[in-house]
């Protein structure tokens, strides 16, 4: 199977460089705000049932970040 699993680490990586909210976490796809990381992850997993495509967004983002990471590793360590 070629299924990609979205983790809490992926959600945090997607929001890097963005100011953290004081009262929750923002889904970077639909911009909704949730009180906990767990609630964002649950939202992402069930987003299609709510009419959103957040799961697709995070899957694509994870694949792109992994490709970028592999490309950086292939370049070798910085000296």
The better pLDDT of the pair 20, 36 is held by 36
Residue 6 lies in a domain: no
**Mean predicted confidence (pLDDT) in 27-56:** 90
pLDDT-derived band at 39, boundaries 50, 70, 90: very high
pLDDT of 42 strictly over 90? yes
Residue 17 lies in a domain: no
Residue 53 lies in a domain: yes
Residue 7 lies in a domain: no
Residue 49 lies in a domain: yes
Q: Report the percent of the chain where pLDDT is more than 90.
A: 20
Burial call 53-66: b when 16+ CB within 10 Å, e when fewer = ebbebbbebbeeee
Q: How many domains does the chain have?
A: 1
Residue 38 lies in a domain: yes
Residue 3 lies in a domain: no
Q: Which domain holds residue 64?
A: 22-74
Q: What is the pLDDT of residue 76?
A: 74
Residue 11 lies in a domain: no
């Amino acid at each position: 199977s070629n299924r990609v699993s979205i983790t809490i680490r992926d959600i945090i990586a997607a929001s890097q460089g963005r100011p953290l909210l004081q009262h929750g976490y923002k889904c970077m796809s639909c911009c909704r705000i949730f009180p906990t990381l767990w609630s964002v992850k649950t939202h992402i997993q069930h987003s299609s049932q709510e009419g959103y495509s957040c799961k697709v967004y995070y899957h694509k983002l994870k694949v792109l970040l992994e490709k970028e990471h592999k490309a950086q590793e292939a370049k070798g360590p910085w000296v």
